[in-house]
Structure 1
């Protein structure tokens, strides 16, 4: 068994590998070739905790993850967790790995994949990232590896100036970012919209990874009205977990739009019409395939710490 630290995962999950991993995960999920029971969600001391099991022919994975916003004041990532990878044939534990970094990388890779599918190019124009936490950091890091970007904008309630400085981006206000970005990644914990359609261009792609409860919104109605394609990671998951899908659906705002899972779009080669939105709440399939590929890469390259239990 090997232990893969966050640093190990950063080394083995370069952007290209991570994007290919989530692409495979979404394809398998759409084909119903991943066993993925509903995640167990707990409220512990007012914080969100999830237990996410899944299995394929090659791997069984369980992730335990928490989202604790107060951690920002403690100098800790708000997302904490770990992933266990086991053999579905023998039951052996193959690897234990950092769950917060794995989550950040696979979520960023999903946003990148949705963008490439929508834009149909790696030259995406101006990118705007809303947020300055761990997810924002990895969205920027992997995007700079994967895409050709003309200009990078970052905004947040705080800390975005420091993040922008790290990557040579422009720290700006929300309105300026939305008006000037061709692609927007919303990576916030806000329960009220930060993606405001009145400021967006006529042609855009948005990936929204926040708003994980039925009443929370990261994207406003004006944005929903503008889009022509609404892409999701899992129809079942978004229909139960995020106000960004539940509320517009109840209001009839998704009628006459393409609404489809990203895996189905890939498998059936469905053409995306922009403006477009990708809504992801994260599914266990992403963790499973990404963890398995990280393990394979680590073994091949001799990365990780070998332990016995």
Structure 2
């Protein structure tokens, strides 16, 4: 069994390449049971979350002699880690041979997660963001922020990146990294003002209160909501949902776990039949993406085990 660390994952993947891997994965499909979601109570701090995300493909990979794969991601989300300078999200990915069950690789789960999450958002943006989008606002300064900027620039000609975070010093660190990678980036000191400028807004936080406000969105904005992976969390308000054509990564996951969707359904701001489509629909041409330059689009992801499986297989094949 291969042990594949974070540096090897970074070497194995590219944004353009993984976006296309995910496009194919959603088009072709895989078995992905509803993920296991457990709360780990901690009396001395914020509760942690344990996620188990299984998925598997056919016994034989399509068009090849290669066996398919079974995969499971084991993830913990510990909000208090930020206070001790550790990532909130920890995890590993176990890849198995689908025919025999033989372990094939243990892959760094944090890297798999940030790569596939950013590229899934960029995949959605390839259908939903304006083709002339120029300004990208990133809300949150966690491990995903740089990946979101790079992945979206792989599908749209984004020239300027604004980064907002409650702790401005953390936003400044992300800006420095982006500038070192050739981006025109700056700290957004006023979140409301930055929203009014943005063509694409990516929100990747652990917030329980809306940060993206529908009243501030200009015509043509694409909103990408990545955080709020439980029903109690939320990154956008009802008005953002009402003003937008709403898409999700998977309907089954988003309508049960995504706070932005669950709470909007409960308030009546959204109905299930008003969700235009998911990534399966978009990649298969079963629903259309952006319809006009002025419409507001909103994509909400909670993460799909299919994404992890596709990314893990791509990493594993790169080691052969």
Residue aligning to 1:41: 37
Residue aligning to 2:178: 167
CA deviation string 1:201-223 (max 9, x = no partner): 11111110111222321111121
Contact 1:26 1:233 in 2 (8 A): no
Matches within 5 A, 1:100-139: 100-119=110-129, 121=131, 123-139=132-148
Query: TM-score scaled to structure 1, two decimals?
Result: 0.90
User: In 2, distance between residues paired with 1:271 and 1:283?
Assistant: 21
Contact 2:130 2:222 in 1 (8 A): no
CA deviation string 1:231-255 (max 9, x = no partner): 1111111111122111222333235
User: In 2, distance between residues paired with 1:141 and 1:284?
Assistant: 22
**Within the alignment, does 1:281 sit opposite 2:302 as a pair?**
yes
User: In 1, distance between residues paired with 2:137 and 2:234?
Assistant: 18
Which structure 2 residue ranges, 5 or more long, are not aligned? 59-67, 180-184
**Within the alignment, does 1:56 sit opposite 2:29 as a pair?**
no
SS at match of 1:35: coil
Instruction: Tell me how large the CA RMSD over aligned residues is.
Output: 1.7
Match of 2:315 among 275, 280, 294: 294
User: In 2, distance between residues paired with 1:145 and 1:10?
Assistant: 16
Residue aligning to 2:257: 241
Residue aligning to 2:64: none
**Within the alignment, does 1:263 sit opposite 2:280 as a pair?**
yes
Matches within 5 A, 1:170-249: 170-172=186-188, 173-227=190-244, 229-249=245-265
Q: What is the aligned residue count?
A: 293
Q: Which has the higher contact order (CA 8 A, sep 6+)?
A: 1
SS at match of 1:149: coil
Contact 2:116 2:308 in 1 (8 A): yes
Residue aligning to 1:302: none
**Within the alignment, does 1:67 sit opposite 2:77 as a pair?**
yes
User: In 1, distance between residues paired with 2:269 and 2:37?
Assistant: 28
After superposing the two structures, state which structure 1 stretch, 249-258 or 54-63, moved more. 249-258
